[in-house]
Chains A and B, each alone.
Chain A
């Protein structure tokens, strides 16, 4: 089945620094999604991307849908302690019709 390669696996940064993470796939998706999961909670949608090349922002978060439709990145600017959590990318609309394929997640730790 389809697989997503998400990197980095984890990041340790200082408060105020910018963060970048990305996902790549060997197959194309029609939609790229980014979720954040706090410890002991379910994931929450951050950004949804629907068109190749699309660049979308949500506050300090910016994500892009790669031109090839096989990759996406998420940037977080000026990180704050509450950014701590696990960030998952997900692809939708590929060969797994009707289901999302999730990356393995990027665990973000922000030091005050």
Chain B
């Protein structure tokens, strides 16, 4: 079946640095991808919708300058957490639409900001 990969799977960085997370659709093309954030024991919170060839659409309350999204090709979307701080530590998950409302999720990226 369709597979979505994420890289890195986990990252530890110092406060103030930027971190880039890649999301790839491995055997299909995705003009749209979604980026979620998940805190421990909580649900998935949609951060933004990544659109190939155009600007991402951010959810209310998500800082677009803090979380930069680039959908450079039909198989790659990236999320860059700029000037990361400890409160940005979380589990970040991307997904691509699978048709009829379904989504194929990536394995997630665990970010820890020290």
Contacts and interface: CB of A to CB of B under 8 A. Distances in A.
B68 interface: no
Interface in A37-65: 40-45, 48, 50
A89 to B, nearest CB: 10
Interface residues of B, number: 24
A99 B49 contact: yes
B102 interface: yes
A76 interface: no
Interface residues of A, number: 23
Contacts of A93: 101
Nearest to A30: B101
A43 B44 contact: yes
Nearest to A88: B43
A32 to B, nearest CB: 9
B85 interface: no
B101 A33 contact: yes
Interface of B: 4, 6, 32, 34, 41-44, 46, 49, 91, 93, 95, 98, 100-108, 110
Interface of A: 30-31, 33, 35, 40-45, 48, 50, 88, 92-93, 98-100, 102-105, 107
